[in-house]
Amino acid sequence: MDKFIIKGGIPLKGEVQISGAKNAAVAIIPAAVLSRDVCVLDNVPSISDVEVALEILAYMGAEIKRLGKSKIQIDSSRITDGTVPYDLARSTRGSSYFLGALLGRFGSARVPMPGGCDLGSRPIDQHIKCFEALGAKADIQHGIVDISADRLIGTQIYFDKVTVGGTINALLACVCAEGLTIIENAAKEPHIVDVANFLNSMGADIMGAGTDVIKIKGVRALHGTEYSVIPDQIEAGTFMVAAAATGGDITLKNVIPKHLEPITAKLRKIGVYVEIADDSDNIRVVGRSKYQSVDIKTSPHPGFPTDMQPQMTTLLTMAEGTSMVTESIFDTRFKYVDELRRMGADITVDSRVAVVRGVEHLTGAPVKPSDLRAGAALIIAGLAAQGTTEIEDIYHIERGYEEMEVKLRNLGADIVKRYYPDDDKLRKAL
Ligand code: EPU
């Protein structure tokens, strides 16, 4: 089993290159199925969730070529069947995008219910509702979602809840439907806009992505394209918080500052210095030794992102005073709090609200993340803590962060990845 071993207390210094956005890439890769031509994607992050999406494509008969570290070519022309294998689908949330993409291309799809981080209940009722509104029939049996339609016909879709996955699946299913589709109460995250831009670069006719009403005029077919994925807003935010937590001074390269505004605003409020030059794709973050408490409530974009909640809560454990953190998107996104308590944090959680009372410092401990962003939070805690932190189950982190430990080492952190074969033996024996 792999672990990260971190010796904390070193301020991060230097420059870090931010990779392509996970949540855009895991949607754009399935979206490539909609074209029978070749698609070339650049700025694709090397993370395990992307590997799973590519494996699913390859299983279905697509030809994938690596043109460089972050550049891939996808030829989906030979895919004839819309069935996704169970084990691959179960390991990520992004596998649900094969529903919309395969339905859009073949008029049918068989995709196991998706997996992904365990953050509480994650239904797909809104996805199904939009497929049905477009004229498809859906059936869930033995863990598999089976959808089919004789014709997909443009319609009005109103989401009862703002949903990133539902909005993307609606786009994928309706780009080639007959006539006009209007999606209301759509999600507005940067990766929604990126998926729409990708589809438009293939010949789709989508207007309004990034607002809560998106209009799509169906087109007959989509052609191939070359497209570069946007930088990862959450990876950037994670490095910003890591710099703040260690009292460091780092410059993030390849970011879109606009996407980071909700994070930048909260960091500035607690006392972090954030410098953004006009028309620049760099951000400089300078930490301090003391911060003030702040209240945070997660909400859909442009609100404070739920995917930054664990990292920001970790920083607040070291701020003066009491902060209230309210999680309004997912039922159980405070599981990492028990691990932070091992490190000396003073946090109480009541349902979706965490009360964080600042402590002087955290201390290193053996800890275990329950999901991807919990893992990011524990890395930040380990970097800031006095002493050594051992983080187990780092496969959670590798799902969404490209070479995290290498990037941190380049910023001066003392972090190594170690393989412990004895842990594997022990697990088998239990
Ligand atoms: N929801 C429903 N019904 C649905 C769909 C969603 O009730 O049909 C609920 C969910 O249970 C949740 C809320 O609506 O309470 C929002 O869920 P959403 O659909 O927006 O989330 P998602 O598409 O499952 C994506 C990201 C998550 C990120 C959320 C929110 C991907 C692959 N995943 O999930 O990313 O937290 O949007 O921004 O894009 C992560 O990267 O760590 C991560 C968990």
Q: Which atom of ligand 1 is nearest to the CA of 121?
A: 11
The whole-number pLDDT of residue 152 equals 97
> What separation in angstroms does the CA of 105 have from each of 31, 100, 102, 158, 388?
10, 9, 5, 23, 51
The whole-number pLDDT of residue 238 equals 98
Complete DSSP assignment for 150-166: S--B--EEE-SS--HHH
The whole-number pLDDT of residue 120 equals 85
Produce one character per residue of 196-220: b if its CB has 16 or more CB atoms within 10 Å, e if not.
Answer: bbbbbebbbebebbbeeebebebbe
% of the chain surpassing 90 pLDDT = 91
Task: Tell me which of 19, 163, 169 to substitute to probe ligand 1's pocket, judged by most ligand atoms within 8 Å of the beta carbon.
Answer: 163
Catalytically annotated residue among 117, 130, 174, 176: 117
The whole-number pLDDT of residue 427 equals 66
How confident is residue 110, by pLDDT bands cut at 50, 70 and 90?
Answer: very high
Given the structure tokens 């402590």, which residue do they identify?
359
Residue located nearest, by CA, to atom 22 of ligand 1:
165
Reply yes or no on whether the pLDDT at 13 is more than 70: yes
Reply yes or no on whether the pLDDT at 301 is more than 80: yes
Reply yes or no on whether the pLDDT at 81 is more than 90: no
| pTM of the complete model | 0.97
Residue located nearest, by CA, to atom 11 of ligand 1:
122
Q: Can you list the alpha helix ranges (DSSP code H) found in 209-260?
A: 233-245
Q: Which atom of ligand 1 is nearest to the CA of 26?
A: 32
Tokens of 377: 């939070």
Complete DSSP assignment for 349-391: EETTEEEEE--S--B--EE--SSHHHHHHHHHHHHHSBSEEEE
The whole-number pLDDT of residue 283 equals 97
Averaged over 266-295, what is the pLDDT? Answer: 95
Reply yes or no on whether the pLDDT at 409 is more than 70: yes
The whole-number pLDDT of residue 2 equals 92
Give the orientation angle of helix 164-174 with respect to helix 97-106, to 10 degrees.
10
The whole-number pLDDT of residue 430 equals 60
Residue located nearest, by CA, to atom 23 of ligand 1:
165
Give the orientation angle of helix 97-106 with respect to helix 125-133, to 10 degrees.
20
Q: Is the CB of 127 under 6 A from ligand 1?
A: yes
Averaged over 246-272, what is the pLDDT? Answer: 97
> What separation in angstroms does the CA of 81 have from each of 106, 223, 252?
8, 19, 42
What is the average pLDDT score of the chain?
95
Fill in the DSSP letter of residue 292: B
Are the beta carbons of 184 and 159 closer than 8 angstroms? yes
The string of pLDDT tens digits covering residues 345-375 is 999 999 999 999 999 999 999 999 999 999 9
> What separation in angstroms does the CA of 327 have from each of 152, 307, 331, 370?
37, 10, 8, 16
Q: Is the CB of 306 under 6 A from ligand 1?
A: yes
358 CA from centroid of ligand 1 (Å): 30
The whole-number pLDDT of residue 401 equals 98
Closest of 171, 177, 218, 173 to residue 196, by C-alpha: 171
The string of pLDDT tens digits covering residues 49-74 is 999 999 999 999 999 999 999 999 99
Are the beta carbons of 215 and 208 closer than 8 angstroms? yes
How confident is residue 121, by pLDDT bands cut at 50, 70 and 90?
Answer: confident
The string of pLDDT tens digits covering residues 385-403 is 999 999 999 999 999 999 9
Reply yes or no on whether the pLDDT at 305 is more than 70: yes
The string of pLDDT tens digits covering residues 188-221 is 999 999 999 999 999 999 999 999 999 999 999 9
The whole-number pLDDT of residue 90 equals 86
Q: Is the CB of 125 under 6 A from ligand 1?
A: yes
The whole-number pLDDT of residue 426 equals 65
Rounded distance, CA 142 to CA 333, Å? 28
How confident is residue 424, by pLDDT bands cut at 50, 70 and 90?
Answer: low
139 CA from centroid of ligand 1 (Å): 21
Strand partners, 183: 157, 214
163 CA from centroid of ligand 1 (Å): 6
The whole-number pLDDT of residue 429 equals 65
The whole-number pLDDT of residue 423 equals 67
Given the structure tokens 């022990």, which residue do they identify?
426
Active site residue 117: yes
